Amino acid sequence: MLSVKDLSVAFKTRKGEVNAVRGVSFDVGKGETLGIVGESGSGKSVTSYALMRILDAGGEIRTGDVVYGGIDLRAASETNMRDIRGREISMIFQNPRAALNPIRRVGHQVEDVLIRHAQATLQTAKAKAIAALEAVKINDAAARYEAYPFELSGGMCQRIVIAIALACKPQLLIADEPTTGLDITTQKAVMDLVGDLTKERGMGMILITHDLGLASQYCDRIVVMKDGLIVEVGEPKTLFTDPQHAYTRKLVDATPRLGASIRNLLPPEARRPEPRHKVHNRPLLEVRDLVKTYPGKTGPIQAVKGISFDIKAGQSLGLVGESGSGKSTTSEMIVRLQDPTSGNILFDGQDIAATPSARFMRHAVRRDIQMVFQDATDSLNPRSTAASAIAEPLARIDRMRGAKLTARVSELADLVGLPQPLLSRFPHQLSGGQKARVGIARAIALEPRLLILDEPTAALDVSIQALVLNLLVDLRAKMGMSYLFVSHDLNVVRLLCDEVLVMKQGEIVDRGPTATVMDTPSHPYTRALIEAAPQPPRSIAA
Amino acid sequence: MADMTASQQPKTAARKGDTTLGHIAYVLKDNPVTMLAFAMLAFFLGCAFFGPALVPYDPLATNGARALQPPNWDHWFGTDNLGRDVFSRVVVATRLDLTISVAAVALSFVIGSVLGSIAGYWGGWLDAVLNRCLDTIMAFPLFVLAMGVVAALGNTVENIIYATAIINIPFYARLVRAEVNIRRNAGFAQAAKLSGNSDLRVLAVHIFPNALPPMMVQVSLNLGWAILNAAGLSFIGLGVRPPTPEWGIMVAEGANFIVSGEWWLAVFPGLWLMLAVFTFNLLGDGLRDIVDPRKRT
């Protein structure tokens, strides 16, 4: 149905030309789902934009043929392309909120595309739009028709985007990271919906994702891209069990999965035995009846509803939940960036919740509880070099100065595997993985006893995630730190944590040793989370 | 896209822009317009510092015999009705006009930054009160407000500076408030708190400097406005008094003679004024690039 031959795309930039896609060829058959998998910068999104001819300014298709159902998309006029987009080939984007017009009712946005492609008249548009919303399983579609995007959840917005994309019954759907940023149960619901709809209608689909596990679950065939080239094509199962290309092997290895240890995520030559960490029986942190209430428009909102738990010295505790479960609020209260409404936080027996967060920086325990933030880019001051970011806690709390400070900073850089020359760089001159290392170095600079990790790998590519997780395991053994690992990704929590708490709507619904909770979940919500996590086929490379 | 390629080629970063001076040189070389703006700024600064020592005539000395001469080789910009050399007066006035505008902008920059930072960081009732006060200032026609301030406080150079500063404060406060507000819960601000910084330090050392790039554009535009404002006040007779050379007064006095054909009295100070404002307007982008570390690639 769609055939791409030797496609090359180049971007003109101030620093000369960048070849984003370098001779890519693939076909998509009728009713087939093709996955394009690659890490950031691999050119997977650019490929799809080139097919739709919606490249950014400066981007140009250099060579190659793109033929869809006998039409040469590269030669088609812009007017023809406008007819094709939406009616023949549709696209759903990564951020559903950004893809919807924030000040128009969602129903009207569905109508727009119907009217544009003459699938409906002004009189019939509303009924057809509601039907399109019902097709993506939106309950009470007639009421949702009137809603604005901000009134809907992320998952609901993505359904609307899918409704718009499918409204004119296109033959091919391009989904560019459709579930990134959505909760894991929402991801499953959205992907199942897209899968069912395309199957029902016999549509072709191109699923672009960085998640090999997700692709293997929903795709018939997978194309692996790296640096603008296709390195391997194959069926999900063969790709996992017998990856041919070294890069595919690396990706397969790095994807967290059942039965793999944390060292298995690394390429075989980098695997060293996993160091053991010692868990003491004495509790380091005791949280008792912790409550956080926010004032809301319609009365107070209870974000955290009286939770209690312990972290033993040296232990790694996983805190799992979806957005809105209160896990971030909990971690911010423990790290003393927020004040609890009530309850106690005992650190080494001392109630640290008694000191307000605004004055906590002078508290003796400040140095013992540090945090690695979710978004490494956001957590580094754009005006500070890597060295000054790492030096900040040392200079402020330990009053370290001069040569001693410089020596300690470079020692920390070695510890987290950050090359010394990078220390003088600004954050925008570092890659995602390097920024994550700077964030970790800063957090461990004072040798804290408790380190809170707030989804430290959520924004990283899987191969970088594998490196960072292993770094955390090494550091834990070396420094005897306790971890509170906040995540929505159960596969990752399983690798790193001794015990796990599952939070839902401000309450702890499940808890226990990680293996017990994961293998024999007692609470239905835990079971739902585990089932929603994409599970790649078992590979022989263990 | 530019950002992406910038991070793809980090090797060039180590070479260039490591030092502040090197970075300034790079910014100037990168953009000819910036280069021109800085050259013109250097010229005006030269006039301000050395002008009084270099001009051919005493700007206040009258010479009845040579009154109202058109531009010639002795008097490049001609002479006025008292026989004073217009060129000397225009050049000497640079110091006064630049002093007024720089002092006024510096004052409004500092006060506006403090007020805006506080409002943006702590929010709440403080934010509301400050915002309403600024709204009140902005509700006045600004030039009329400046006239009122000078008329009430008295006709001195300091009062022109205060008046110009007051009408510019809301622009800075608004800008800083917005820039601080979007960053107050940023990860790096929270990380700074974990590193033992107090709220005040987080605000001053970590958040506020990130507002500098857009501020610099505002500063350069404001320098131009401030010169126009000071000249305008002098033009209508408030502010600097004759016979002190000042562009606004010279234009005002010269305007009386345009009808009778002595155009050079108003045109040359006017052109000079225009060039100065133009320079500051061009300066904005360059200043922003200099204070923005992200340009150091």
Question: By the 8 A CB rule, do A129 and A111 touch?
Answer: yes
Q: Supply the pLDDT for residue B7.
A: 39
Is residue A461 over pLDDT 90?
no
Question: By the 8 A CB rule, do A179 and A189 touch?
Answer: no
Given pLDDT bands bounded at 50, 70 and 90, which one contains residue B12? very low
Is A400 inside any structural domain? yes
Is B271 inside any structural domain? yes
- For testing the chain B interface, which of A9, A12, A13 should be mutated: the one with the most B CBs within 10 Å? A13
Q: Supply the pLDDT for residue A538.
A: 64
Question: For position B221, which CATH number holds?
Answer: 1.10.3720.10
Segment A354-413, tens digit of pLDDT: 888 888 888 888 899 999 998 888 899 998 999 999 999 999 988 888 899 999 999 999
| Boundary residue ending a domain (A122, A141, A169) | A169
List of residues 6+ apart from A120 with CB closer than 8 A: A111, A114, A128, A129
Percent of chain B with pLDDT over 70: 93
Is residue B5 over pLDDT 70?
no
Q: What is the DSSP string of A145-206?
A: TT--GGGS-HHHHHHHHHHHHHTT--SEEEEESTTTTS-HHHHHHHHHHHHHHHHHHT-EEE
**Shortest distance, CA B233 to any CA of chain A (angstroms):** 40
**Which of A58, A374, A375 minimises the CB distance to B1?**
A58
- Range scoring the smallest mean pLDDT among A20-29, A300-309, B1-10: B1-10
Helical H runs in A22-178?
44-52, 78-87, 96-99, 106-116, 125-135, 141-144, 154-166
**Shortest distance, CA A528 to any CA of chain B (angstroms):** 31
Question: How far apart are alpha carbons A104 and A106 in whole angstroms?
Answer: 6
The secondary structure of residue B202, as a DSSP letter, is I
Count the neighbouring beta carbons within 10 Å of the beta carbon of residue A287: 23
Same domain, A160 and A292: no
Q: How many domains does chain B have?
A: 1
Is B2 inside any structural domain? no
Is A404 inside any structural domain? yes
With CB atoms and an 8 Å threshold, state whether B196 touches A366: yes
A206/B9: higher pLDDT: A206
> Is the Cα dihedral B118, B120, B126, B127 positive or negative?
positive
Q: How many domains does chain A have?
A: 2
List of residues 6+ apart from A459 with CB closer than 8 A: A374, A375, A376, A377, A432
A319 burial (CB, 10 Å; 0-12 / 13-18 / 19+) is buried
Residues of B in contact with A371 (CB under 8 A): 190-191, 194
**Which of A361, A379, A426 minimises the CB distance to B188?**
A379
Count the neighbouring beta carbons within 10 Å of the beta carbon of residue A299: 8
Question: How far apart are alpha carbons A119 and A88 in whole angstroms?
Answer: 13
Is residue B8 over pLDDT 70?
no
Mean pLDDT of chain A: 87
Is B31 inside any structural domain? yes
Is A246 inside any structural domain? no
Is A357 inside any structural domain? yes
Mean pLDDT within A145-155: 86
Is B272 inside any structural domain? yes
Q: Among A208, A156, A161, which residue's Cα sits nearest to residue A182?
A: A156
Percent of chain A with pLDDT over 70: 99
**Nearest residue of chain A to residue B12 (CA atoms):** A429
Q: Supply the pLDDT for residue A541.
A: 44
Given pLDDT bands bounded at 50, 70 and 90, which one contains residue A432? confident
Q: Supply the pLDDT for residue A177.
A: 87
Question: How far apart are alpha carbons A292 and A441 in whole angstroms?
Answer: 30
Question: For position A372, which CATH number holds?
Answer: 3.40.50.300
Given pLDDT bands bounded at 50, 70 and 90, which one contains residue B123? confident
A306 Rama sector, left if φ>0, alpha if ψ -120 to 50, beta otherwise: left
Question: By the 8 A CB rule, do B206 and B273 touch?
Answer: no
Residues of A in contact with B9 (CB under 8 A): 15
Q: What is the DSSP string of B74-108?
A: SSTT-B-TT--BHHHHHHHHHHHHHHHHHHHHHHH
Is A143 inside any structural domain? yes
| Boundary residue ending a domain (A169, A193, A209) | A169
Mean pLDDT within A198-220: 89
Question: By the 8 A CB rule, do A77 and A53 touch?
Answer: no
Q: Supply the pLDDT for residue A540.
A: 47
Neighbouring C-alpha atoms within 13 Å toward the C-beta of A177: 16
Q: Supply the pLDDT for residue A534.
A: 81
Q: What is the DSSP string of A277-311?
A: -PPPSSEEEEEEEEEEEE--TTS-EEEEEEEEEEE
Mean pLDDT within A461-485: 89
Question: How far apart are alpha carbons A79 and A510 in whole angstroms?
Answer: 56
In which domain, by residue range, is A137 found? 96-169
| Boundary residue ending a domain (A169, A184, A217) | A169
In which domain, by residue range, is B37 found? 19-58+74-295
**Shortest distance, CA B40 to any CA of chain A (angstroms):** 27
Q: Supply the pLDDT for residue A14.
A: 65
For chain A, how many residues are written?
542
Neighbouring C-alpha atoms within 13 Å toward the C-beta of A198: 29
Question: By the 8 A CB rule, do A285 and A347 touch?
Answer: yes
Is A487 inside any structural domain? yes
Given pLDDT bands bounded at 50, 70 and 90, which one contains residue B16? very low
Is residue B9 over pLDDT 70?
no
